[in-house]
């Protein structure tokens, strides 16, 4: 079974989990469907914004630790952001390949008010391989 590490930090809240590489496409698809439902309910067509709001809310409340389903959804949302973001086409093959040293981390920083920056990084080996592509 191939896996990789997924982690995130926000103001002292953290999440770290192993992701099964062969499930990455299903996990991303599942979040996409969930985000579309939330988007329809809230009337907000910005799936990226809906996703970020969900992650921020869950991490701030600690729901990713207290409610098992929320922890899984936060992980799916983080994966969706990475795959749909600027790194998506380059990072997805490494997520699918997995490996004990493959790590993806999202650092979430509050800039001001309700504005947050999401910065995704990968381990050094993966980063070097992505740059070679």
Residue 62 is predicted with a pLDDT of 86
- Is this prediction's pTM over 0.95? no
Residue 91 is predicted with a pLDDT of 93
User: How far apart (Å, rounded) are the C-alpha atoms in residues 122 and 9?
Assistant: 14
Q: What is the mean pLDDT of the chain?
A: 92
Phi-psi bin for 113: left (phi > 0), alpha (psi -120 to 50), beta? left
User: How far apart (Å, rounded) are the C-alpha atoms in residues 48 and 66?
Assistant: 24
H/E stretch holding 110:
strand 103-112
Residue 68 is predicted with a pLDDT of 76
The string of pLDDT tens digits covering residues 18-50 is: 999 999 999 999 999 999 988 888 787 889 999
Please state, in angstroms and as integers, the Cα–Cα distance from residue 60 to each residue in 6, 52, 91, 93, following that order: 18, 12, 27, 31
Residue 131 is predicted with a pLDDT of 84
Q: DSSP assignment, residue 17?
A: E
pLDDT band at 57 (very low <50, low <70, confident <90, very high): very high
């Amino acid at each position: 079974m191939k896996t990789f590490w997924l982690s995130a930090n926000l103001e002292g809240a953290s999440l770290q989990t192993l992701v099964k590489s062969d499930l990455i496409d299903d996990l991303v698809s599942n979040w996409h469907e969930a985000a579309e439902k939330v988007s329809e309910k809230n009337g907000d067509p910005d799936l990226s914004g809906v996703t970020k709001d969900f992650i921020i809310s869950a991490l701030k409340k600690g729901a990713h630790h207290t409610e098992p389903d929320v922890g899984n959804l936060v992980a799916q949302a983080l994966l969706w952001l990475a795959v749909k973001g600027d790194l998506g086409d380059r990072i997805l093959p490494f997520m699918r390949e997995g490996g004990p040293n493959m790590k993806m981390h999202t650092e979430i920083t509050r800039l001001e008010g309700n504005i947050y920056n999401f910065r995704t990084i990968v381990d050094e080996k993966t980063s070097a391989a992505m740059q070679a592509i």
